[in-house]
Chain A
Amino acid sequence: MQCLLNGFFFLILLKLMYEKTLINFYIMINKFKSLSKVVLLSLLATSCINNDYDLNKNISLLIGVDGSLSIPLGETVERELESLLKAQDIEGLLTDDDMYGIHKDEYVSASIPNFNADIISSISASSDFSISFKEIVNVPPLSKNLEAITLSADLVNITANVTIPQTNIPKEIKSLKYIEFSNPVKLNITSNLNITSLAGDLYYTTLNIDFPIFFQFYDESNITIVTDVSGIKYKRVTLTNQKFSVNGNQRTWSYNELSVKGLDFSDSDYNDIIQNSKLNITNAMVNVSGKAIVNLGTAQVSDFQSVSGSYSFGVKNMYINVIKGELITNIIDKKDYPHTSIKLNGLSDYVTNGSQLDLPDINLLLQVGNPIGVPLDVDLKMSPYKNGKIIDNIIISPSSKLTINANSESNINSNSKTISKFILASSDYLKNGYPKDYIPIAVPELNKLVEYVPDSIVIDAIPTAKAVTGNNWHLINLSKKNLDMNINCNANVPFVLGDNISVIYQDTIKNIKSDTDNLFDKISFKQLQLNVTTYNSVPLDLKLKVIGMSTGCESEISTNDLSFTFNDGNEYGTISAGDYNSETNSTNITETNLIINIAENTIGTLKHLDGIKLLITGDIESNKGTKGGIPLRPSQAVKAKVSIKATGVQADLDTF
């Protein structure tokens, strides 16, 4: 070690003393020069110059922090699902009871064919007969006012065929049981007897007209059912004291106080009355019986031995209003089968291609308004579609057909419809209850409808007339045209996200480069970690990925240059799902700590880091849906708190 005199200025002063000012001191100095040298040298000899500390050398200003530096970067804004999912952007994704779901109302109508029938132009019958009058011994009371000699004759089984023209009826009618006319039509009955003009008054003291049983009179209070010898039933109208009018040698009687309301073929005697969609009634008969009396007047008794006569009746222009019977099954044309599509546009924006949705609580509410008195069996076929193509040929059908109640008879003449309500869901869902007044229909694998994120669900309904049971005949009103069967399909899908959900949350910490003022140019790190604490109330395991963004945050930095890996070496970390509390029916926040190691694989990349993108997605393979099938709610949220931890920090202060 080179030792020098540390009191350099001492020597200067001593020199001055020696040479100039202190001449007289010189002698003394000389005297004690040895001593002063000893003192000075003793002062300085122990001091030395240490060239290791030469400040003219380069002084490295490289500094390093032995420990670490953890700096809270802060937390992201809490993103509620309400803002993340942007329900308004997903058609059909609405909230109900603070719960996300696909709530989709679709109305579809199925055209009911117009049931057409011709007017029944007439129903008539007529018959000639001959009767013989004999003198009456015991004049009935009615005849007491007659002259003394009165004759009477019995009308016995005067039969006539009822003529009903073949009339077109709706082709869908397989079995006709009842026809009701728009208005009651008058039944005109006429009877003529050829009798001498010398005779007195002529009466039907009793006239029994046995109409075919299918005649439905407006007023049947005085009608009795009679059966002939062959067992055929008739409706008997009994008239008494019906007086003939005189018209020369002919006496005429007519009666039009009976109104026919319709035709009732429910009696088994008339089962096959339809042929080629026409009424084909050939065996209907009218029987007339009774008694006629006449006053002899100035005529001879012999003039009444053989009196010819006739009778006829007819009804005209019967407009068919309502028909009862049984319709054929396929009353609705195939082209008119209800067909609707529930659009789910926008949903696919939030799930990746090939993703799956697990929606075990999907349910469909159907309300069907039936305008006709025909119960319908509906076979539903539902299929998920994407880009106009059916997905995996999936066709979902209920385990049983939906039976739509017939419109009630009281509604049949009005515009009212009978509403049938169905809820279609999985058996498990239905076990937990369903809305009142709804008919539960179990649909196996209904959730498959949305499992593969369709952009639409196509529903085809194949309605058929339900076969008549008992006397619950089909009932149609021919006067109602252009009938529609309204179907309100309310798809109600609690939104439960499954695996492969794409972007739920994406935030980018921007402008790092300008904020750090090129700090990464000047500082190096042995290890740089991001400590991300997530707070998740979404009941779904989520996946976090951190991506470095290059200058301007417009493009991602390749992981070959700068990688963000979790402690397990993966590029993804798992954010635990929010914890569902069944008692409070709410989801509690779950906190997850994730450490992300930042590795600069290509030296110098860090200085290009201008943004950190936090990407939180749901596409976790092991994730089969929200925990416990808990529905998503708009208030469920996720946020992240980020701090950065740097170890082995080194910087050269010379660069600052």
Chain B
Amino acid sequence: MKKILYIIVILISILPTYAQTLRSSYFLERMPYRHLNNPALINDYGYVSIPAIGNISVTTNSNIGLSNFLYPHNGELVTGLHPDIDSNKFLSGLKNTNALSTTEYITILSAGFFAFNGYNTIGLSIKSESEISLPKDIFSFLKTGQNSDVTSYNFSNARAKSNNYAELAFGHARRYLDNKLSVGAKAKLLFGLGNIDARIDRMDINMSGDKWIINSRGTANLSLSGATLGKDENGDIDKINYELSDFKISGYGASFDLGATYKISEDLKVSLAVLDLGFICWNSNKFAQTKSESYVFDGFHTIASEDDENGNNAFNDEKDQVVDDLKALIKFDEIDGNNSRTTALKATLNAGAEYSILNNKISFGLLSTTQFGSQKVWTELMAVTNFRPVKWFECAINGSVSNYGCSWGALINFCPRRFNLFIGADYIATSYTPQYIPINRAKLGLNVGINIPLGMDPLYKKTNSK
């Protein structure tokens, strides 16, 4: 049982969410991968990544944390379901929809260079987005049980999904209007590696001493080449089999990033970008859904039935049937005829503004990020203070507020001539377990990369030569 708890803890704490690169790098001109946040952003230098370690981003975002589930109590840790933990204390820390999301982004190879009258990027990356959302009523049910004659819980919209794909991106940005306006676009070819989306569209439980009424409807999609659905003797899905040797691309798609920046004055710059406008068409999808939509259990109707002459007992038969019916509520059956499906990417809208002082040695930026397509739309406003004391070093600190909570982060970017190292975190927890698991809020965004700088931006070169 504890293993399960640990898995939950790890899920809560480690599963990351949005990030392709640090959003706090949005305003740092020498951060190689900031074009991932806005294809119109043009760096001072080109770059080429060191394979596989050019940009590694791991981000977790959640509106709950470990402290919502574990409580120090009398020298040990107890769960929020412990009888000594007040239900108000436990449940008030939870949201109506408790969401956990993660994004892992690894750049296999990437490069940025100035040519074709602009800044060009090319990159091959792997992206994994996963999220899980659980309604509060699940925990209320476990903690409170019934608090009145008739108690209702709604477990609807419980969902687990994961989207994994590789992207080959080609970007180009160039300046207009006397270099005040930059526009950029990026076209990405997407290669689906695997997608799973299981959701309980509806599950509500109405409990009373007379009867329990359970309404349930669930669907699941699995798009993963090499995966087959294992079934029991009743034809119900009981496991997912996977043969690595059968792996192949499970789907194809495309997406676009669009962006623009505008320098209102020498000190003030605004920007806007829309990312991941695209889709993936999965071609080896398996679709399953639950059998039953409604189930009423008002007790056994054959209590104390006598055995018949064959030793069969109606009560035992009915009991087995009830167990089967309950299992059927959450058992998925494969439905033929849904072999392909199309999923949209989680589109992201970034809007930023930067005001610099001290000859751009220090600037202050505001970045609004809104991501669509998740169970819970995520929106965040980040304030960043950027420091550029010398040409080979930049750093930034940020504070953010979002509908997943508040956090802060920092970034340092070493960018001497033939070397670039950046490391930072959009979200830094203030408290960790001795095992370095954030305690209060499962928000963590780490980004690290090593790259080799290339040719300088002609405009930057020109400006600095003056």
Interface residues of A (CB under 8 A from B): 4, 6-8, 10, 13, 17, 22, 24-25, 28, 32, 35-36, 39-40, 42-43, 46-77, 507-511, 515, 531, 614, 641-643, 645, 648-650, 653-654, 656
Contact = CB atoms under 8 A, between A and B. Distances in A.
Contact of B433 (A50, A69, A72): A50
Contacts of A55: 6, 9, 77, 433-435, 437
Given A32-B393, A58-B76, A71-B209, 8 more contacts: A48-B432, A49-B432, A50-B433, A65-B142, A74-B299, A509-B303, A511-B315, A654-B1
Contacts of B301: 74-75, 77
B305 interface: yes
Interface stretch (B262-270, B350-358, B410-418): B410-418
Contacts of A54: 77, 433-435
Contact of A59 (B78, B147, B430): B78
Given A43-B428, A531-B209, A510 B72 contact: no
A56 B416 CA distance: 43
B78 A25 contact: no
B143 interface: yes
Nearest to B83: A64
Contacts of B416: 24-25, 28
A263 B434 CA distance: 136
Contacts of A510: 304, 315
B144 interface: yes
Given A43-B410, A60-B79, A69 B2 contact: no
Given A25-B414, A28-B392, A70-B209, A64 B82 contact: yes
A25 B419 contact: yes
A599 B208 CA distance: 23
Contacts of A511: 315-316
A32 B142 CA distance: 54
B414 to A, nearest CB: 7
A76 B301 CA distance: 6
A2 to B, nearest CB: 9
Contacts of A50: 431-433, 439
Contacts, number: 201
A437 B301 CA distance: 51
A654 B76 contact: no
Contact of B66 (A36, A53, A71, A641): A53
24 contacts: A6-B432, A6-B436, A7-B425, A13-B421, A28-B392, A40-B412, A42-B410, A48-B430, A53-B72, A53-B434, A56-B434, A57-B75, A62-B83, A65-B142, A72-B209, A72-B299, A74-B300, A75-B299, A77-B301, A77-B302, A77-B304, A641-B299, A643-B210, A654-B2
Contacts of B410: 39, 42-43
B401 interface: no
Contacts of A654: 1-2
B81 A64 contact: yes
Nearest to B147: A67
B229 interface: no
Interface in B425-464: 425, 428-437, 439, 448
A63 B79 contact: yes
Nearest to B66: A53
Contacts of A32: 389-390, 393
Interface in B191-247: 207-212
Residue of A28, A40, A43 with highest tally of chain B CB at under 10 A: A43
A71 B303 contact: no
B421 A75 contact: no
B379 interface: no
A531 B212 CA distance: 15
A642 B412 CA distance: 68
Interface string B68-89: 0010110111110111100100
Which applies to chain B's interface (DSSP): helix, strand, loop or mixed? Answer: mixed
A77 B305 contact: yes
Q: Which 9 A-B pairs have the closest CB atoms?
A: A64-B83, A74-B299, A74-B300, A72-B299, A507-B304, A63-B81, A52-B72, A70-B209, A67-B145
A40 B395 CA distance: 11
Given A32-B390, A65-B144, A508-B304, A642 B299 contact: yes
A42 to B, nearest CB: 7
B83 to A, nearest CB: 3
Contacts of B316: 511
B303 A76 contact: yes
A582 to B, nearest CB: 32
Nearest to B72: A52
Interface string B340-358: 0000000000000000000
A75 B208 contact: no
Contact of A70 (B76, B146, B421): B146
B72 A62 contact: no
Q: Is the interface of A mostly helix, strand, loop or mixed?
A: mixed
Contacts of B81: 63-64
A72 B72 contact: no
Nearest to B305: A77
B448 A13 contact: yes
Contact of A66 (B145, B208, B300): B145
A32 B298 CA distance: 73
A8 B428 CA distance: 13
A66 B432 contact: no
Interface in B307-347: 315-316, 319
A507 B144 CA distance: 33
B421 A28 contact: no
A510 B210 CA distance: 21
B142 A642 contact: no
B27 to A, nearest CB: 17
A68 B147 CA distance: 6
A35 B83 CA distance: 50
Contacts of B425: 7, 43
B393 A59 contact: no
B108 interface: no
A648 B395 CA distance: 55
A119 B412 CA distance: 152
A59 B72 CA distance: 9
Contact of A56 (B392, B428, B435): B435
B208 to A, nearest CB: 6
Contacts of A46: 428, 430
Contacts of B207: 69-70
Contact of B151 (A22, A49, A67, A77): A67
Contacts of A643: 209-210, 299
Contacts of B249: none
A58 B74 CA distance: 11
B434 A51 contact: yes
B297 interface: yes
Given A64-B82, A67-B145, A39 B395 contact: yes
B362 interface: no
B277 interface: no
Contact of B419 (A22, A49, A59, A648): A22
Contacts of B147: 66-68
Interface in B1-16: 1-2, 5-6, 9
Interface in B368-411: 389-390, 392-393, 395, 397, 410
B423 interface: yes
Nearest to B417: A24
Contacts of A58: 76-77
Contact of A68 (B67, B145, B300): B145
Nearest to A614: B304
A535 B299 CA distance: 16
Contacts of A47: 428-432
A64 B82 CA distance: 5
With a 10 A CB-CB cut-off, give which of A4, A24, A77 has the most chain B CB atoms: A77
A627 to B, nearest CB: 27
Given A6-B428, A66-B144, A656-B1, A75 B303 contact: yes
Nearest to B4: A653
A598 to B, nearest CB: 15
A66 B87 contact: yes
